[in-house]
Structures are given as C-alpha cells and as structure tokens.
Structure 1
Amino acid sequence: MRFVSIFLLFFTSSVLADASLYERGKAYYYGQGVEQDYEKSFNAFKHSAKIGSIEAKTALAMMYIEGKGVAQDDDKGLELLNYSVDRNHDKAQYYLGILYYRGIGIEEDLAKAFELFKRSANQGYADAQYNLSLMYQQGDVIKKNTLLAHKWLLDSAESGNSDGQYHLAVAYQDSGHYKDAFTLYLKAAKQDHADAQYKLGWLYEYGKGITKDYVSAVNWYIKAHQLGHVGVSYRLGLLYEVGLGVKPDYETAYHYYQMSIEEGNLDAYNKLGYLYEHGKGVGKSTQKSYEHYIHAAREGHQASQLKVALMYEKGIGTKRSIKNAKFWLKKLRKKGNKMAGFKLKRLQKR
C-alpha cells in the first residue's frame, strides 16, 4: 500500500516578525525564510507546547520519532503522540495510524491503524481519508468495499490530498472526461505531484480537456522530470527533437533519450539509433546506430527490427547479411507487418 509520507508533517508557512512560536518552529523545520535548523525548530515547538499548543506537541512527537533536532526516542515520541490523540487531534491520529500500520517504534497493528485513520478522516484530514480509501480498496483488515473506497477517495481529493486528486483524475481521464481530469491534475500538480505534472503535460501536448499548448506541455514535463518522474524523459526528447514548445535542439533531445534508455524505454533506443545514424546532436556513427537498433530489436521493438533488417541488407553499421535481414523480416511478418512481408518477398527473389 502506498501511503502519504509520514514525515511531511506540517503545512508550509512564511515567517513574519510577529510569528507565533509554533509558526517559528515550522519555519526552522522547513527553512522557510530562515536557515533550516532542526534544533531551533525543536526548541520553538517545545516552548509552544508548554503554553498549550496541541499542534506543537504533535510536531515534537514526530521530531522525537525522526530524531531531528533531538536524540531519537520512540517512547517519548509515542507518549506525546498519544497525548494529542487522546485530545482528538486529527494529525496525531493520522501519524499514530501510520506508525501502527508500518510497525515503526510500536508493534504492527493494522486494525488500530484503520481505527485511527477513520477517526482522523472523519474530522476531514485529507491524508487519512486517502489512506482509508486504500484500505477499503485493498481489503486490509476490513472487508474490501469499493463503494466506501470511492467515497473516501472523493473526500480526500476534495480535502486537498494530491494522491486522491491524481487517482480521481485518472478515473475521469479513462472515462473520457478530460476537462474534469485536467482540473484535478492541475490541483495535484501544484502540490508537486510528479505523476500529475506528467499527465498535465500530456493533456496540454494532445489538447485533451484544454487547448493544445506545447509550451505548457514542456513546462509541466520539465517540472515532473525535476521531481524524478520515470517516463517523462522520452516525451521531452521528442518535443526537443521536433521543436514543439521549444526550439529544435538535437543535443538536448539526445540528452533526454539517454536518460530514457536508462529507464528501459525501447522507443528511446530507437530514437538514439536514428540520431547516431544521421549525426544529429551527436557524432555520426552507423555502428552505434546499429547497436541501439539491435538492442531494441532483440527486445521486440518492431520499428527497430525493420531498421535492423535494412541495415543487414545494406551492410550499414554491421556486416552485410541477407540471411540476417530475412531472419528479422520473417519475425515481423509473423506479427502481421505488411511492410516486412513486402521487403521479404523482394529479398527472396535475389
């Protein structure tokens, strides 16, 4: 089960001169307007907790559990967290639920995790609502219930959980409701949800639910890439190669295709084969071109198989071999490739 991260504790906030101790603690924790300093963050939370801030007690609890700004101490952290839970604090209920679910500093207990998520979710805490949706969807502890899973997914999205917004958007997209999908992807993307940023880029690129806008597509793809999205490198390579939303730049396209092959993308191998073949963005090398095409071909990439057959026929980048050319064309013909059948027929006349 994929849960919202346990350590994204607080909403970010700018620092003002008259900021409360709790706000000051958040500022030092995140380095918002001041240099990040966990010890100063801990001390600010500690003083805030002394004057009654339940938010600060919850924050202190998690800092003890994380060992940030103070020596790591699960017992002390759990003591403070339970104090907040007993006073019906929604964040504390959620965090303690995570600890029970993962068995962090405490014996794993999925039933207790479920009850804590439910208490927190009923108070409108978005992350708890999303995790409750997952538990109903997957049948963890409780009986699988798709209706309740969907209900809590809707609630989590409405409450601002980016994962909930993303998955609901996917459902809208899959059913052809692109405008609704766009609205939710945008909300999640603005919270740095990499998958949502990628999807948003795709909608802009293809004009689904929004006017086609290649510049916006590139911008959202780059944001997703900066957050480590797997798969977006290939889209960026294509747009830079063709010059959509950006000026054509083969070197940058080559750079993104290189990253894409590290993710195992066979289309990227094919693209690099083309760039090496024609010397675009990289020094021309028919041998390296062949090496990239043959790699993709052996993994079942049909366009590369057709290209390899031609290279064997002509002796480009590799030793000429009509036998090997026929081998690849026969494989393609079996898959129903008409072009391969035509080329094979021509070769067999020789």
Structure 2
Amino acid sequence: MRRLATQGNAYPEAQFFLANCYGTGMLGLQVDHERAYHLYLQAAKQNHPAASYRVAVCNEIGAGTRKENPRAFAFYRKAASLGDTAAMYKLGMILLHGSLGQQKNAREAIGWLRRAAEQADEENPHALHELGLLHESKDNSVVIHDEAYAKELFTRAAQLGYTPSQYKLGQCYEYGTLTCPVDPRRSIAWYTKAAEKGDSEAELALSGWYLTGSEGVLKQSDSEAYLWARRAANKGLSKAEYAVGYYAEVGIGVKQDMELAKRWYMRSATQGNKRAMNRLTELKRLGNKKSNQGRPTRAQTRDECVII
C-alpha cells in the first residue's frame, strides 16, 4: 500500500486509504495526523474528491496542520466541485450561515444543498433535513414556504436513517403538522426509531406517549414513561430532568420521593429551566409538604412534562 501511495505515479485511492489508516490507527499503524494530512493533500492534488474534503476538515479543525479557514473553505469548494456529497452539504451550510469568515450567499448555498440532497444516501442525509427546515420556515426569504415539500424531504432523510428527521416526523404525526394527519401509530414508530439511536428528545416524547397510551397502538405504562424520561434526563436534557423530577414528586412510575424530585429539579434549574426554578420555589414555600392539588391526570402530567 505504501508503494502504491508513494512510488512512481502514486495512486490517489491508495493515498486516501493509507491516510485513513494513519488517521484512525487501522492496520496496526500508530495514529499520525500529520502523515495522514500529507497523504490526503497528495491525493487532493490529483483531484480525489473525498481526500479534498478531508484536507478541508483538517484545515478547519487543525488536525495534522494548523487551522486555516480560508484554505479549508477553498478545499471544501474544490471537493464539492469534484462531486463529494459531504463537501456539497458543508459548503452550502458555510455559505448559508457565513461561517469560516465567508460572506453569506443564500442563493449559492441553496444550490449546493440541493445538489447534496440529490445525492443523499445513508452516510449523507443531512442536506435533506436542512432543506426541509428551510421550506418549513415562514420567516425566511431564501426558499418558498412549502410544508408538503418539507415533509417529503424529512421523510426521505428519515428513511435513510437520519435521527433528527425521524424525531421531526414523530412530531408531525403526533400534532398533525406539515400536512401530516394525526396518526399515533406513525408518530410512535418514528419516535421509537430515533429513541433507539439515543435521541433524547425522542425518548422524552415516548415518555409522553406511555403516560397516556394510545388505544390499539401502545399500552399505557407509568413505569415505561418514567424509564424513557430517565434515559433522556441522564443525557442532560433539561426538559427530561424536569419531567423526572415531576414524576418523582407525584409518584408516577417511581415511588413518590420529594428529595429525589428536588435533586432533578435542581439539575434542570441549573440549565435555566424556568419551570424547574418555579417548582423549587413552590416546594420551598410549601415546606416540602405535598401539594393539596391531588394527583394530576396522566394527560395533565403529559402537558406539564413533555409539551414544553
């Protein structure tokens, strides 16, 4: 492989492969980011699309070379022009937001995002989701507001396994947005796909569904509601930390425990959650006594903890 990458008419695919080995420690090689960068650069000089993208990334983050935003941008543009899907998406986002010291250029940005979306696959679904967000928004002059097309884009990304799009569709089918009908079965299915990949928002959304259940679709379960909220809370999602605190205070899916509730409220409040702050203030005012409001219904609890 070294001979192919370094001797005679060096083979760019071999240079790219060997660079990946040095970058990750494959084939028993010691990780060497500088050598990896050098090989990526040699392959990029021979117009290798993926190597040009890696050179851009290295220059952006300073891996194996110093940070140079203008150079990073130049190689992102080169890689995109050579047809690299990830580079097309990255270039579109740079131009859309004006990052890496570049001027915003919405028209060109959309063009690159559309090209990336046309080539979307399981490794590169991101452009579909970003275009969906743009078409969903009513507050931009970049693209036409088109909810049906936004749904189509999110669906394509979700089917490719993109977690944010799967969560988005879960919301759409739960609340009937973006031309989607209210459909608990589809909502729960998409939330489950995202939650299984560790998406904390989806885990909290599933907690809400287990709180109320859905006739013929999902059996109501307080214990499952608590466990899904706890998963999200353990990842540091402020809303989920508040939810777990509320479950502990009320006694849903876990034994009623005011001290446990306060600990979770405190974690949530530390992140600026105003509901958690207010709840801690209320508990202090009550002197840690149980509220005389009575046990809330599951629907009320869902509104309190999940739809925030």
Shorter chain as normaliser: what TM range?
0.7 to 0.9
Residue 236 of structure 1 contacts residue 253 of structure 1 at CA under 8 Å; is this kept in 2?
Answer: yes
CA distance in 2, matches of 1:149, 1:213: 35
Q: SS state of the match for residue 301, structure 1?
A: helix
CA distance in 1, matches of 2:244, 2:41: 56
Q: Which residue pairs with 2:166 in the alignment? A: 197
Evaluate the alpha carbon distance shift between residue 182 and residue 48 of structure 1 in structure 2; reply closer, same or farther with a 3 A threshold.
Answer: farther
The answer as to 2:119 corresponding to 1:159 is: yes
Query: 1:279-332 deviations in whole A, cap 9, x for unaligned?
Result: 44333x374697489768995329975x958x949x9527x9xxxx9xxxxxxx
Unaligned runs of 5+ in 1: 1-42, 326-350
Q: Which residue pairs with 1:10 in the alignment? A: none
CA distance in 2, matches of 1:83, 1:288: 61
Evaluate the alpha carbon distance shift between residue 94 and residue 240 of structure 1 in structure 2; reply closer, same or farther with a 3 A threshold.
Answer: same
Structure 1 residues 241-250 or 73-82, which shifts more? 73-82
The answer as to 2:222 corresponding to 1:250 is: yes
- Aligned counterpart for 2:21 among listed residues 57, 63, 85: 63
Evaluate the alpha carbon distance shift between residue 242 and residue 140 of structure 1 in structure 2; reply closer, same or farther with a 3 A threshold.
Answer: same
- Aligned counterpart for 2:40 among listed residues 81, 87, 107: 81
CA distance in 2, matches of 1:66, 1:54: 18
CA distance in 1, matches of 2:57, 2:42: 16
Shift of 1:142: 3.1
Shift of 1:238: 0.5
Residue 58 of structure 1 contacts residue 92 of structure 1 at CA under 8 Å; is this kept in 2?
Answer: yes
Query: 1:195 corresponds to which letter in structure 2?
Result: P
Evaluate the alpha carbon distance shift between residue 217 and residue 304 of structure 1 in structure 2; reply closer, same or farther with a 3 A threshold.
Answer: farther
Query: 1:3-53 deviations in whole A, cap 9, x for unaligned?
Result: xxxxxxxxxxxxxxxxxxxxxxxxxxxxxxxxxxxxxxxx7x988999986
The count of corresponding residues between Structure 1 and Structure 2 is 273
Query: 1:121-144 deviations in whole A, cap 9, x for unaligned?
Result: 112211111211232222424323
Q: Which residue pairs with 1:210 in the alignment? A: 180
Q: Which residue pairs with 2:274 in the alignment? A: 300
**How does 1:175-324 map onto structure 2 within 5 Å?**
175=138, 177-208=146-177, 209-244=179-214, 245-262=217-234, 263-266=236-239, 269=242, 273=246, 277=250, 279-283=251-255, 285=256, 287=258, 291=262, 300-301=274-275, 308=282, 312=286, 316-317=289-290
Residue 286 of structure 1 contacts residue 316 of structure 1 at CA under 8 Å; is this kept in 2?
Answer: no
Q: Which residue pairs with 2:299 in the alignment? A: none
- Aligned identity (percent) is 22
Q: Please tell me whether Structure 1 or Structure 2 has the larger radius of gyration of its CA atoms.
A: 1
Evaluate the alpha carbon distance shift between residue 272 and residue 218 of structure 1 in structure 2; reply closer, same or farther with a 3 A threshold.
Answer: farther
Residue 90 of structure 1 contacts residue 125 of structure 1 at CA under 8 Å; is this kept in 2?
Answer: yes
CA distance in 2, matches of 1:77, 1:221: 39
Shift of 1:183: 1.8
Q: Which residue pairs with 1:118 in the alignment? A: 77
Query: 1:269 corresponds to which letter in structure 2?
Result: Y
Q: Which residue pairs with 1:91 in the alignment? A: 50
Unaligned runs of 5+ in 2: 139-144, 294-308
TM-score, length of structure 1 as denominator length: 0.65
RMSD in angstroms over aligned alpha carbons? 3.8
Which stretches of structure 1, 4 residues or more, deviate above 6 A after TM superposition?
45-52
